[in-house]
Structure 1
């Protein structure tokens, strides 16, 4: 017999109590413990339209049966705005055709504690174990650190969305059971229809308001049947139709009454301040309205963006730069000098690598990686409207809570007076961690007294990019009598891009200040991806921090981009030294890592691996990142001085994927991203400026350069992992190893055909 509903009043948030509210982050043990020690009450701050009922922080349902899933993660093309709703809809029993998505407001309920742990962990927190994790979780939750990046979205929120869907299903079944006078356990939901296993049926929209008045059971039941499940199906992406018909709104698509447009110049890279500007020349442009100067930038405002940008060109702003201008030669010298500074710190170690220093027969190689640009199709953009009651900002942000706080600080407002409307991003993968356009647009709107849309030019986007970290590596290894690696040493000189990013976005440091704050500090974040997956008895990784003068930022795969290149290129050299075929050499050292060995064997079988013989043009690379395992085989060569890639094959074990088609899209995207890093996406700098900023001159891969791409998802029952970052780091080493078989020499620089 169903229990009669317990009425909780008629306010919009009725039914949202400690038992019915599902807190972001799964079981929320840390948050519940925090309540016991320092009481905190976090409730959803969702707006509900007439007819809508909020069930928890992740779900609203209206009377028509429309299922509205709340997504806190930034959609950058990776498909997270489909994957998370698919998890919830699967547990709810929803009809996929009725599922919609709404971006989440800033709230502690959506804090990404998983990325916060990865980003903020230090020696103390690691020694503290669970207590250290708990402390970081508390910090992330209380500061509402809504973060998107490093492939953490799916593993972070998978359980929370399962619970949200299951909870709503139970409450809806309870409401239907009360009408039918049956036990709620006998009811279920399929395709948005509640039934009791017999002839009685109700649409979920018919009971949503009653459902929110019930309590959840002490143990939340999940679906047990495998029939008619949405999870695991290749469902169509929810954002595809609007992107095809052009109705999808990115930041530059926002239109507000009385809105004007702005372009900006921020000077050369470094500690630059505005010195002069020719305002008279700017006034000659039709549609020009005003030049607005700040200490470190100048913006032109006009009634259209072209006029604003043209006015800036004619105004010819001049900046004064303190310190030595950034140039590629200076960066290379700084990285080499870091090795001589004797400031290295051993961050990973096992066994004893001392015999390498005793004159043993060793193999030693040096590698170089240049900073990699983001080059998102959508330049940085934001729209702002400042009124008497506060500020409104429309922008894509991977850290919306921190962005809102920065905007509030710049305007002298309370955080509560700033409303941030989170939008999808047109690519970028890490660039939207920074939020300068939001702050700039807000200041411009206040100055103009009307809404302003600020769009950076492509040139400005390249100059002010915060690329991935450059790095130099000195690799050394010694083979044992059986041909396996006995000793492995990696010394890496690199700045820490993630530490710089955190200093900017969390502590509001200017880019040159963030460089100074993080200089000389060793960090595992700077050598991520270099912890060996292979069973080498004696190995160590040392980080030599370097100050290169170039502001760096969050990127796809972050330090794995250079870490995997160093490791997988050098292990190929060791295999050649041992005169053992490259795949067998790797697999014989992966006895304790069967998932990675399976990926290698699979990619070899799919690609027709020929053993890496001379002239084959085939190369391998394997890696693990954030619980995912991948092997890549590439077929490549050089023709008329240009890199030619015929095939790229990837085998990936990323756990049980929610939407295999989107998982393959993520991997394919990563492979193309990695190919761009191998071919271009890294430019020289001179006199504080990039030497080129036009995409067509960067050597980036075109459609005809990519060749055939094949992706195999290995079946797995392991928990799902995010796959956005897994593929990008492996393309360059796989191609480099392939080129060795045709050119007879090693390519140890990235980009592979690096000039200068």
Structure 2
């Protein structure tokens, strides 16, 4: 089919922020077409990806979108991280920040103003399962625009109308002979992109929807992929650091004499917030930090279990909520009949990434270079500049591949510390946090507690109220990232994300009650959804039992307004062999809608001899709209299930004197490879817009396990992590 036979992209292309020039660097022989695409004389097609690769596959799925619209040969497609530029701003995530009521620079300024702010500040962010949702339209437009230029160049050579030509497999087709993109790329950029850009038509030779191999895997398998810890610079030294207990801790003193005795030590640093050592190798630097035995003073009370519990309890007892979402008349409905009430809670959860925080810094004159894994390159660059006391224009940041840590790599502490140390030493420094430091200073998922109240009539929900006490973790994380601070005591919608049940309830209310726990909390994979879905889906299961109804049927009767989730539920139940969740069945269900997607999960559990819960089988059904790469979707859902199992059944983390009880992986009780259940993922076909998947399956794991535990034992577990 010729290009002119398809629908145009007039509006979207016309709204591109053209006042910003692309700064995509071209190597010799490469021709840039726009901010996202370069084509080389040797046939290589390079796509600039504005999102961080954390293992979620954006270095494949995003190029796949552009390459599909371009008509490229997948074997020739490569990827590189996009430079910091307003053209790569994640406007969608900024908009959703406003919708969540997050107190930040965005609050109250409106959708258009938010887009402008995000664009003008080059707000490049990876998070919120937003990569596909935010950049699918722009990448399609970039591919389609470049395709029209190639068609025009080929048409001039052939003396035909360019709209009669097509592309496939890296060739312009439909003329007297196929012609390679590489042979006309240099000529093509001299043509003009039409206002009405035709998209590719037909279903043949398409890349979207295909399980194409991941572009990042070969280098990761053969070891050539470069992570932050792989950076090696001439004259580089290695550094380790130790900070104080969580809170306003200040360095009081160190044992320099003991550290100086460690072989290989190059320098000792005393910062007001931390102590560090630099050495000829990292092992020596870390031994020196331990020998320093830094002492800290903290003027304010330190976090401990009693304070955390008291903060949540006091917040729940508070009268008026600081942030509320309501529809109908929940107070009147809930006061007019018998109510059912339950209290749930969730402890902190560690990010525990395989790769701890790390950064390499080098000063050349008055210019600073930073190599680091980051989900927010522009803000990370700004943090480095603040720490070094120089302007942002003097800082160059090279984002590296990220070794896990959804949300953890928003943190910039290691980047700031590396910049300070490199500035003092006047030589390159690679700082890597130890596993102990990473665990103790983790930006934990916040603890939370919920009072759930509902009224039923004839087996149907009539009213619903959720009062959720939790620190404002998103506010804290953004405060650290921007250098503006954040106490965690401000009300925010982000703290109750996912708390609105996906069921037909005419009268409902969701309240956030900020709790000052004294912890430094942050963004965990799926953020607040990880505990709000646990509260909601566990309570729904309780209500079904109270109504004397089978849990699947109870849910299905309330999903007339959410047919996509209903289909996921029925699919997971059918494939998983749902038996009604009768006593002793060991099966549990949970469902959730978020990030434009829908998921249902059935799990089968068993009890270990040590009384811990083991998940033997998990069946997930997912509707995430149009699928870009089904294999990546399955990988993300499977990974999210395993991640969720770790959060649901791992060891609880306690706090004393501002420090967590955990010191490493062994203290977290995470599932091992041998503990991984048999996982089945069914992708429900859909032509809806693509939704987010990276975090989608995490929230449903804990409630599904808790509901299965109730079916097996008759006991209801209302606290995370789940302990039999």
- Aligning the two structures, in what range does the TM-score lie when normalised by the shorter sequence? over 0.9
Match for residue 425 of structure 2 among 445, 448, 451: 448
Match for residue 720 of structure 1 among 690, 694, 705: 690
Change (3 A) 1:710 1:124: closer
How far is the alpha carbon of 1:729 from its aligned partner?
0.6
How far is the alpha carbon of 1:448 from its aligned partner?
0.9
How far is the alpha carbon of 1:30 from its aligned partner?
6.2
* Equivalent position SS for 1:167: helix
Change (3 A) 1:238 1:398: same
1: CA distance between counterparts of 2:335 and 2:194? 66
| Partner of residue 552, structure 1 | 521
The 5 A counterparts of 1:453-464 are: 453-464=430-441
| Partner of residue 654, structure 1 | 624
Q: Does 1:412 align with 2:384?
A: no
| Partner of residue 362, structure 1 | 339
| Partner of residue 273, structure 2 | 296
Match for residue 606 of structure 1 among 554, 575, 587: 575
* Equivalent position SS for 2:486: helix
Q: Does 1:79 align with 2:39?
A: no
Aligned partners of 1:30 and 1:134 also within 8 Å: no
Match for residue 182 of structure 1 among 148, 160, 170: 160
2: CA distance between counterparts of 1:160 and 1:557? 25
Q: Give the aligned length.
A: 714
The 5 A counterparts of 1:36-185 are: 41-121=19-99, 132-185=110-163
Change (3 A) 1:129 1:684: closer
1: CA distance between counterparts of 2:700 and 2:55? 21
Match for residue 442 of structure 2 among 465, 481, 490: 465
Match for residue 321 of structure 2 among 335, 344, 348: 344
**Bigger CA drift: 547-556 or 72-81?**
547-556
* Equivalent position SS for 1:27: helix
Aligned partners of 1:328 and 1:685 also within 8 Å: yes
Q: Cα deviation per residue 1:120-150 (whole Å; 9 max; x = unaligned)? A: 346699xx99981101111111111000001
Q: Cα deviation per residue 1:507-560 (whole Å; 9 max; x = unaligned)? A: x04xxx522xx41x3221111101121111221111111110001112211111
* Equivalent position SS for 2:619: strand
Aligned partners of 1:375 and 1:681 also within 8 Å: no
How far is the alpha carbon of 1:468 from its aligned partner?
1.3
Change (3 A) 1:183 1:76: same
2: CA distance between counterparts of 1:650 and 1:586? 16
Aligned partners of 2:323 and 2:493 also within 8 Å: no
Aligned partners of 2:102 and 2:493 also within 8 Å: no
Aligned partners of 1:31 and 1:138 also within 8 Å: no
2: CA distance between counterparts of 1:523 and 1:317? 36
Change (3 A) 1:548 1:632: same
The 5 A counterparts of 1:423-502 are: 423-480=400-457, 482-502=458-478
2: CA distance between counterparts of 1:714 and 1:395? 38
Q: Does 1:676 align with 2:646?
A: yes
Query: So what's the TM-score if we normalise by structure 1?
Result: 0.92
Aligned partners of 1:119 and 1:498 also within 8 Å: no
How far is the alpha carbon of 1:302 from its aligned partner?
0.3
Q: Cα deviation per residue 1:449-485 (whole Å; 9 max; x = unaligned)? A: 11000000001001111111211001111110x2111
2: CA distance between counterparts of 1:147 and 1:666? 19
How far is the alpha carbon of 1:177 from its aligned partner?
1.6
Aligned partners of 2:240 and 2:432 also within 8 Å: yes
Q: Does 1:256 align with 2:230?
A: no
| Partner of residue 385, structure 1 | 362
| Partner of residue 701, structure 2 | 731
**Bigger CA drift: 202-211 or 109-118?**
202-211
2: CA distance between counterparts of 1:689 and 1:559? 23
1: CA distance between counterparts of 2:91 and 2:470? 26
Aligned partners of 2:333 and 2:462 also within 8 Å: no
2: CA distance between counterparts of 1:27 and 1:254? 40
The 5 A counterparts of 1:498-517 are: 498-506=474-482, 508-509=483-484, 513-515=485-487
2: CA distance between counterparts of 1:396 and 1:624? 30
* Equivalent position SS for 1:566: helix
Aligned partners of 2:158 and 2:175 also within 8 Å: no
| Partner of residue 11, structure 1 | none
| Partner of residue 27, structure 1 | 12
Match for residue 686 of structure 1 among 639, 643, 656: 656
2: CA distance between counterparts of 1:294 and 1:160? 44
Unaligned runs of 5+ in 1: 1-21, 33-39
**Bigger CA drift: 615-624 or 116-125?**
116-125
Q: Cα deviation per residue 1:276-302 (whole Å; 9 max; x = unaligned)? A: 111111111111111011110111000
Change (3 A) 1:28 1:461: farther
Aligned partners of 1:382 and 1:441 also within 8 Å: yes
How far is the alpha carbon of 1:360 from its aligned partner?
3.4
Aligned partners of 1:356 and 1:362 also within 8 Å: no
Change (3 A) 1:123 1:447: closer
How far is the alpha carbon of 1:362 from its aligned partner?
1.9
1: CA distance between counterparts of 2:99 and 2:323? 17
* Equivalent position SS for 1:271: coil
